Amino acid sequence: MNAVRFMRRLFAVLLLAMGAGAVSAHELTIAEMEMRETSRGEFTWQWTARERATQRDINPVWPAGCTAEPPLLHCGPNGLTGVLQVDGVGKGYSVAIVKIRWLDGQTRVYTLTTAQPSVHLFGSADDQRGMGEIASAYTVLGIEHILTGTDHLLFVVSLLFLVGFNRRLVWTITAFTAAHSITLALSAFGLLALRPPPVEATIALSIMLVAGEALGKEATLSRRWPALVAFLFGLVHGLGFAGALKQIGMPENHLPIALLTFNVGVEIGQLGVVLLAWVLCKTLAPWPSFAKARTPALYGIGSVAMYWASGRIWAILS
């Protein structure tokens, strides 16, 4: 099997795997539990409908002194105090979200990840997690989001095809980072809000445009000013990141640090992908036919993006 045929088949397999994500390509795998305090130390709890069918793969470990008789939880006079852990985070699910409506009417959202598989509860709405715990959890969430966000990754890969590994790539990636950081922050602080379906559709269309521009040879705006294109579309991708954060929930006591570290995690994952692509290109460059795989790769990326875009636009219209 020659190099071109091998690369084409490998890329086809990757595309089939990506296509399985279709319309919801960049969502994290999230398990969500809802709890309500009905009287002091007494709770009702359940997994949301999406997780009920597979809840055997993810199980809560309640604080000492609490006993569960689903859908009830009895914690006695001390209340829900101590360490709550969710087994299965990092295996079947990337994130477990526990939403508790306390007796005083306040609701708190607790996010558990592989970096922070447990949370300390204090029997009330007061969240006393330290800044370090929040920073660690949200950095990992940012890395997980970008690495499981196929549409964001394809946009970054399309930029690599458009710009290549040269000095302009630094400015292009920097522009993309700056743009999605701006809209992510504005959305997190409630200053900017757009409905998710148009955002998701625009993200897919952005991949199509950049992949198409990378195929051409004319001195278009995208080729002359790739950083500008990356910045403009980065604004939209930031709203996509914000949508993921909205699903996960943000700690009210450390909102700025959660936002900052989530963004840091996204950048760590993004730079890791760029580094991996550079290593692969350097490794495969000696193959005489390696350069010929560029065109089918870009057509493949554009086709997947078109599939996503059509599905997402249809979801808006239907």
Last residue of a domain, one of 130, 158, 182: 130
Asked if 187 and 161 sit in the same domain, the reply is yes
Mean pLDDT of the region 199-227: 88
Q: Does residue 275 sit within a domain? A: yes
Residue predicted with more confidence, 205 or 52: 205
**What is the count of structural domains for the chain?**
2
Are 271 and 209 in the same domain? yes
Q: Are residues 97 and 194 in the same domain?
A: no
Contact 16, 302 (CB under 8 A): no
pTM value > 0.85:
no
CA distance 150 to 77: 47
Q: Is the pLDDT at 193 greater than 70, yes or no?
A: yes
Pair 256, 109 in one domain: no
Instruction: Give the residue-averaged pLDDT of 136-149.
Output: 84
Query: Residue 142: inside a domain, yes or no?
Result: no
Please give the Cα distance from 45 to 73 (Å, whole number): 7
Contacts of 38-41 spanning 24+ positions with Cβ under 8 A: 38/103, 39/103, 40/77, 40/79, 40/103, 41/74, 41/75, 41/76, 41/77, 41/78, 41/79, 41/80
Tokens coding 251:
């700690």
Do 171 and 280 sit in the same domain of this protein? yes
Q: Are residues 125 and 199 in the same domain?
A: no
- Same domain membership, residue 85 and residue 12: no
Residue 306 confidence (pLDDT): 92
Which of 124-128, 196-200, 236-240 is the least confident region?
124-128
Domain of 118?
A: 30-130
Q: State which of 79, 96, 130 marks the end of a domain.
A: 130
- Listed residue (81, 133, 82) closest to 112, CA to CA: 133
In a domain, 140, yes or no: no
Q: Looking at the structure, do residues 154 and 233 belong to the same domain, yes or no?
A: yes
Residue 307 shares a structural domain with residue 172: yes
Walk across the sheet containing 59-61 and list its strands. Answer: 59-61, 81-87, 118-122
Q: Cα dist. 34→45, 54, 55, 133 in Å? A: 6, 16, 13, 22
Q: What is the pLDDT of residue 273?
A: 92
Q: Are residues 112 and 249 in the same domain?
A: no
Measure CA of the first residue to CA of the last residue in the chain; give whole Å. Answer: 45
Q: Does residue 54 lie in a domain region?
A: yes
- Confidence band, pLDDT 50/70/90 cuts, at residue 9: very low
pLDDT of residue 287: 86
More confident: 141 or 159: 159
| Domain assignment of residue 11, yes or no | yes
- The rounded mean pLDDT for the chain is 81
Both 119 and 182 in one domain: the answer is no
Length of the chain: 318
Assign 20 a pLDDT band (cuts: 50, 70, 90): very low
Which burial class, exposed, middle or buried, applies to 225 when counting CB atoms under 10 A from its CB (0-12, 13-18, 19+)?
Answer: middle
Same domain, 245 and 226: yes
Residue 12 has pLDDT above 80, yes or no: no
> Picking from 83-87, 92-96, 203-207, 257-261, which range would have the lowest pLDDT averaged per residue?
92-96
**Does residue 11 carry a pLDDT above 70?**
no
In-domain check, residue 143: no
Domain termination residue (choose one: 86, 103, 130) = 130
**141 located within any domain:** no
Residue 206 lies in a domain: yes
Q: Percent of the chain having pLDDT more than 90?
A: 27
